[in-house]
Amino acid sequence: MTRPLITHRTLDRIGLLFVALVMISPVILFFLWMISLSLKYEIDNGAYPPIIIPENIAWSNYVKVFEENNFLLYFWNSVLVTGTATLLALVIGVPAGFGIARLKAEKSAVVIMIARMTPGLSFLIPLFLLFQWTNLIGTLWPQIIIHLVVTVPIVVWIMIGYFETTPKELEEAASIDGATTWQVFRLVALPIAKPGIVVSFILALIFSWNNFVFGIVLANRETRTLPVAVYNMLSFEQVSWGPLAAAALIVTLPVLLLTMFAQKQIVAGLTAGAVKGG
Amino acid sequence: MATVNIQNIQKNYGAVKVIHGIDIDIADGEFVALVGPSGCGKSTLLRMIAGLEEVTGGAIRIGPREVSHLPARDRDIAMVFQNYALYPHMTVADNMGFALKLKKADPAEIRTKVQRAAGILGLEKLLDRYPRQLSGGQRQRVAMGRAIVRDPQVFLFDEPLSNLDAKLRVQMRGEIKTMHQRIGTTTIYVTHDQVEAMTMADKIVVLHDGHIEQIGAPLELYDRPSNLFVAGFIGSPAMNFIDGRIEEGAFRTKKGLILPLPQGVAAAGGRDLVYGVRPEHIRAATHGIEGRATLVEGTGSEIYAKLDARGEEIACLFRERLDVRFGDTVSIDIDPARIHLFDKQTGLRL
């Protein structure tokens, strides 16, 4: 009796695996292709039929990325811009999300969303002029400030959703216990919302890290961020696929590692919060 | 400890009136239960006393202080919620000491008070655990502990036992009552379960559609319900209601069933009445009103039966072991001294 059951289950699993593989194949294949490109010499990259695994591995592509560009500076710029923009977004967005969720101020949430949906280019020029007048061009501040347009709405929207699902009684209990609104937020709502904060932090970080448009307009040679630096590897004479792919992988790596690390955090946080009655 | 005085309290949500001017006086140290069906406004009233809900009109006083418009944190009350509302990121000890910590009390004093409350509730061994590591009953006790540590003027309970299983509910009922007798703090307890109200409260307030139907001691409500609603709500199983009129000194239903009456009610003749009798006030008799059993449920200690007597359904609760089965004809006797008569039109007791 048990034998056919097991076979059935195994078949189910194989089927599920196959479907999952098909669904994620575009992502995986594109990633594998990028790795392959970054490890091949230019001659192999242009070959037909394409070579997936080269005979000679071209580590020099990675060396070239760091040699020919001030890649470490751009990396540091990216860290500063994304880091500051994300942290500022948490400082502004988490309390804002709490306030909007508790006061049911959906309209202000929509206004924030509109700011996010407006095409960046439409406000980049006036902002560029503004930063010029304020003598901020040439520093990282214009990019940090404008990245808030990306990060704040993400944090606010995720936190609204999170605070709306946390039981209101906890906050009521705290206010009966003698807490002021600020204490209720800081001592009760905030610790409970930790998983939500982690999720919004990561998403804000990814969007800000990968942002290209703001950087290309506002950054100069010294204040360039990584996505802009990768773009600048395309020269007019030729496209060097190897170094380009290597640079792109280097840019992706920190975000990839962070997501992999934080995924565990998110799951752990969610299960910790899933207790009846708090 | 303090008195609680509620004067003409009203609550509107927009144009919808939820509470229509309620007056309740609660003495110092009294245990008052607010009961009523879902949507009667009992939880809203409690939340207004707690300061979690704005008051539309009227005044609430705790002791000599008018608190109607004070924030919850300034009312010196403690509340136990239906879902316990324990802070999930704090240990039991931190949960219980949270209010004192907010008051910036001395850590040693907090520890002493938490230990004392834990002693009262048998929580000493659980102080380092988190709420998620506790059972329902233990969480309930921690919620009570959090209230005790505060040493507030008034305890508020919002259906605190409804998430527990039947057996635990009976046990916790006893524990809350014991705690009240020991500490003596004025307590307001909201429940939809009239058995809880009957067993625990010194005074019961029966609410219905935002109005008070009756206020009184549990037995007073049981013995002399002032209207049909209270009569039907208090008591389990519920009172039998039979429509009819008084004719020739007896109560006669439309279908011709004749029921006994106490002395001196004949004056109420000539109008439509409701005859109320509790199932437990009906006895089996050798000669009496005859009915056919349409439902028989035995629990060992008692037998609950529904009889069809000339088309009228009468529920009976027999304490003795009768050999009654579905379809049997049973003879019953009603004690005329324990019946209740209500005006059908107004619903009021005669």
- d(CA A157, CA A112) in angstroms, rounded, equals 9
Check whether A264 has a pLDDT greater than 80: no
CB contact under 8 A, A178 and B103: yes
Query: Distance between CA atoms of B253 and B274, rounded to whole angstroms?
Result: 10
Min Cα distance A188 → chain B (Å) is 7
| ipTM of model over 0.90 | no
B32 close to B41: Cβ distance less than 8 angstroms: no
What does the domain layout of chain B look like in residue ranges?
4-226, 240-343
Crossing angle for the helix pair A141-165 and A71-103, nearest 10 degrees? 40
CB contact under 8 A, B72 and A180: no
Phi, psi angles (nearest 5°) of residue A253: -55, -50
B118 neighbors B149 (Cβ within 8 angstroms)? no
Please determine, for residue A235, whether its predicted confidence score (pLDDT) is greater than 80: no
Cβ contact, residue pair A192, B146, below 8 Å: no
Per-residue pLDDT tens digits for B60-115: 999 999 999 999 999 999 999 988 899 999 999 999 999 999 999 999 999 999 99
Contact call for A177 and B71, based on CB within 8 A? no
Assigned token pair, B292 = 């056919």
Segment B235-256, tens digit of pLDDT: 889 999 999 988 887 888 988 8
Cα(A146)–Cα(A152) distance, integer angstroms: 10
DSSP per position, A153-211:
HHHHHHHHHHHHHS-HHHHHHHHHTT--HHHIIIIIIHHHTHHHHHHHHHHHHHHHHT-
pLDDT in tens, B10-41: 999 989 999 999 999 999 999 999 999 988 99
Rounded-to-integer distance, Cα B242 and Cα B171, Å? 36
Of B79, B82, B88, which is closest to A176 when you measure between CB atoms? B79
Helix (H) or strand (E) holding A256: helix A241-273
Dihedral, CA of residue A231, residue A235, residue A241 and residue A245, to nearest 10:
-20
DSSP bridge partners of B32: B188, B203
Contact indicator for A29, A227 with CB cutoff of 8 Å:
no
Average pLDDT for chain A: 84
B206-209 long-range Cβ contacts below 8 angstroms, 24+ apart:
B206/B35, B206/B36, B206/B230, B206/B233, B206/B234, B207/B22, B207/B34, B207/B35, B207/B36, B207/B40, B207/B41, B207/B42, B207/B45, B208/B36, B208/B37, B208/B40, B208/B233, B209/B39, B209/B40, B209/B41
Q: Any chain A CB within 8 A of the CB of B113?
A: no
- pLDDT number for residue B277: 94
Contact B184, B27 (CB under 8 A): no
CB atoms within 10 A of CB A53: 9
Peptide bond into A49 cis (omega under 30): yes
Distance from CA of B99 to the nearest CA of A (A): 5
Cβ separation of A170 and B87 shorter than 8 Å?
yes
Supply the CATH classification number for the domain B240-343. 2.40.50.140
Residue B189 distance to chain A (closest CA, Å): 16
Which of B53, B62, B81 is the best substitution to test chain A (most A C-beta atoms within 10 A)? B81
Joined together, the tokens standing for residue B1 give 């400890």
pLDDT digit string, tens, across residues B289-317:
999 999 999 888 899 999 999 999 999 99
- Determine the residue of chain A that is closest to B51 in CA distance: A176
- Distance CA(B62)–CA(B48), nearest Å, equals 12
Nearest in space to B208 (alpha carbons), one of B13, B6, B57, B20: B20
Q: Strand, helix or coil at B205? A: strand
User: Which residues 197-226 of A have a C-beta within 8 angstroms of B?
Assistant: none
Q: Where are the alpha helices (DSSP H) in chain B?
A: 42-50, 92-102, 107-121, 136-150, 166-183, 194-200, 218-223, 228-233
From CA B149, how far away is CA B213, in angstroms rounded?
Answer: 35
Q: Say if residues B2 and B78 touch (Cβ distance below 8 Å).
A: no
Rounded CA separation A218/A140 (Å): 9
Tell if the pTM clears 0.95, that is, is over it.
no
Q: Which residues of B touch A175 (CB under 8 A)?
A: 51-52, 71-73
Instruction: Calculate how close chain A gets to B67, using CA atoms only, in Å.
Output: 13
DSSP B35-53: E-STTSSHHHHHHHHHTSS
Chain A contact present for B146, CB below 8 A: yes
Chain B closest CA to A31's CA: distance in Å? 40
CB contact under 8 A, A167 and B79: no
Q: Which residues contact B156 (CB under 8 A, 6 or more apart)?
A: B46, B49, B50, B77, B78, B79, B80, B187, B188, B189, B190
* pLDDT category of residue B167 using cuts at 50, 70 and 90: confident
- CB contacts of B75 in chain A (<8 Å) are 176
Selected for mutation to probe chain A from B47, B83, B149 (highest A CB count within 10 Å) is B83
Under CATH, what is the fold of the domain B4-226?
Answer: Rossmann fold (3.40.50)
